[in-house]
Amino acid sequence: MIRTEVARRWRLVRAPGRSVPASVRRFHQRIRRRRLRSAAPWLAVVGALGLAALLAWVIFATSLLGVREVAVTGTSVLTSEQVTAAAGVAPGTPLARVDLDRVRAAVSELAPVREARVRRQWPGTLVIDVQERVALATVPVGSQFAVIDGAGVVFRTLAQRPRELPLVVLASPGPDDVSTRSALRVLRTLTPQLRESLVRMVAPTPARIRLELGGGRTVVWGDAEDSDTKARVATALLKKEGTLIDVSAPEFVTVG
């Protein structure tokens, strides 16, 4: 009797679909749908993780989104090739893995660079925006001429003097040199008349600055204090006779 019952159940399960009662088929369909609904969120998570892993592999581990171009902007003293070489990013390096801070620091080591900014431009361009130093004066150094910016940084050396820049004679040009800083401070206050007449500025010490003008005239400036007043007074005294104008104490000027 037991064997007969088991055989009947086996025949029911293995029977063709048309032999299974409709209620049983509906029951199994509901179970399958319920299982699919419960598994769907997990399948979605697994799919999303797989897609994310694939994207991460493409972005970080292949050259598909690698550096194809280094675009350099803002240069005039430097060339794009010099900036690219300083950046040191090999072609094909995954753009996402480029250390922007490292590249910025490396480019900023170039003397003419005052500031550098680095950014990614997808899909394959590394952009380096350079702000170069602005030349304020030139300083004779041996047989050459050093170009300095407003901070006193020497960022270029030329064989010939650039005539558009004022000539400043300094013993040790540089941003940490007090005489350099004082001379540049004076230079910024000169009136157009003084600049036009200026042959060179000499600053052996911070307190012994003088201007050598055309026609053999000299303006004894002293230190950089009260430079705005000294510039106005010296400009007014250009109309006076004499080759020596002393404005080191602007309240008691002398012309001789």
What pLDDT, on the 0 to 100 scale, is given for residue 2? 45
Domain boundary among 132, 158, 175: 132
Per the listing, tokens 């159940």 go with 9
Number of domains in the chain: 3
**Chain mean pLDDT for the chain:** 85
Radius of gyration of the chain (CA): 40
**For residues 111 and 221, what is the distance between their CA atoms, to the nearest angstrom?**
31
Contact of 173 with 155, CB cutoff 8 Å = no
**74 & 92 share domain:** yes
pLDDT of residue 132 exceeding 50: yes
- Do residues 74 and 168 share a domain? no
Residue 126 lies in a domain: yes
Same domain, 174 and 140: yes
152 — phi, psi (to 5°)? 90, 10
Residue 175 and residue 150: Cα distance in Å, rounded? Answer: 9
Q: Are residues 149 and 233 in the same domain?
A: yes
Contact at 8 Å (CB) between 137 and 167? Answer: yes
pLDDT at 39 over 90: no
Domain boundaries, position 83:
69-132
10 lies in some domain: no
Residues 149 and 185 in one domain: yes
Whether 60 has a pLDDT exceeding 50, the answer reads yes
Domain limit, last residue, from 44, 61, 78: 61
In a domain, 180, yes or no: yes
Confidence of residue 58 (pLDDT cuts 50, 70, 90): very low
Q: Please indicate, yes or no, if residue 174 is contained in any of the structural domains.
A: yes
The per-residue pLDDT for range 87-99, each reduced to its tens digit, is: 999 999 999 899 9
Residue 16 included in any domain:
no
Question: pTM here?
Answer: 0.73
Question: What's residue 111's pLDDT?
Answer: 96
Same domain assignment for residues 154 and 225: yes
Q: Does residue 189 share a domain with residue 236?
A: yes
- The 10s digit of each residue's pLDDT in 193-250 is 999 999 999 999 999 999 999 999 999 999 999 999 999 999 999 998 889 999 999 8
